[in-house]
Amino acid sequence: MVWEEFVDEAIKDFTSLEKKYREKVAIYEKKLAKWEREQIEGASEGKSAKRKKTDNDPKPVPPQCPRQRMQKEEPTNFLRFATSLKLMVGRMVTEAMVDRAGTLLEEYLIEFKRVRLLLYFLSVIFL
């Protein structure tokens, strides 16, 4: 399956993006601290040259948090979703097929939510 071929590469890419993100956050924090100091100094000096400079100085923008492209748990979950859709839109749909499709869709949604929450908490903890 294509997924198995590329999931390790996606994990490596995410790891390198995490490292770069941490570096960018450190730079951002330094720029933000400098910007805040300049804003305070400019406000206390009144309408000096420093104040005029900081008026046009925009607040630094934080870097975007990287997102992982592929998860090891996703192939099975995606197959649940695809199978449920195939069962629902088939030419001949029976009540048993609709029940099975509903069960698969429910399992997909529960697993999707679990994986996304796990990723969110990991990003909050480690980044």
Could you read off the pLDDT of 102-125 as tens digits, one per residue?
Answer: 999 999 999 888 877 777 776 666
Residue 127 banded pLDDT, cuts 50, 70, 90: low
Report pLDDT digits (tens) over 20-58: 999 999 999 999 999 998 888 877 766 555 545 545 778
Nearest to 126 by CA among 12, 25, 30, 27: 25
Q: What is the pLDDT of residue 123?
A: 65
Q: Measure the CA angle with vertex 66, ends 116 and 13; round to 5°.
A: 100
Q: Are 69 and 59 in contact (CB under 8 A)?
A: no
| 46-74 mean pLDDT | 70
Q: What is the pTM of this model?
A: 0.54
Mean pLDDT of all residues belonging to the chain:
81
Q: How big is the chain by its Cα radius of gyration, in Å? A: 25
Question: Which tops the pLDDT comparison, 96 or 72?
Answer: 96
DSSP 71: -
3-state secondary structure of 97: helix
Report the pLDDT value the prediction gives residue 3, as an integer from 0 to 100: 64
